[in-house]
Amino acid sequence: DVKVTQSSRYLVKRTGEKVFLECVQDMDHENMFWYRQDPGLGLRLIYFSYDVKMKEKGDIPEGYSVSREKKERFSLILESASTNQTSMYLCASSPGGRIPYGYTFGSGTRLTVV
């Protein structure tokens, strides 16, 4: 079974802090994604990556950056956390190519910015 592991289930951070959310997958997937889930807004794509050191902006990249130094690890960085970044953050991975494989998601990180 593909496993996508997010390092923290719950995080509480202060406004202005730099926050790192880590995601690791163990099935050699090329693609990795970061989403946030908010009530009424569904899953919104923040950033994604098709390969090591490669990143693309999603629908809502403002206030975030990402890092993918190794194939199995995709990090989401909140440069200066703000209260409107309080959300559930979901990491996902999928095989590469144009075959419509679904995503495998991690369990999510519930981030609260106070």
Partner 1 sequence: DQQVKQNSPSLSVQEGRISILNCDYTNSMFDYFLWYKKYPAEGPTFLISISSIKDKNEDGRFTVFLNKSAKHLSLHIVPSQPGDSAVYFCAAFSPNNAGNMLTFGGGTRLMVKP
Which CB atom, from 4 or from 19, has the smaller least distance to partner 1? 4
Q: Computed over its alpha carbons, how large is the radius of gyration of the chain?
A: 13
Binding site for partner 1 (CB under 8 A): 4, 9, 31, 33, 35, 37, 40-43, 45, 48, 50, 90, 92, 94-108, 110
Report d(CA 84, CA 50) in Å as an integer: 28
CB of 70 to partner 1, least distance (A): 19
The burial class, CB within 10 Å (0-12 / 13-18 / 19+), for 67 is middle
Which CB atom, from 26 or from 79, has the smaller least distance to partner 1? 26
Which CB atom, from 16 or from 96, has the smaller least distance to partner 1? 96
Q: Are 6 and 106 in contact (CB under 8 A)?
A: yes
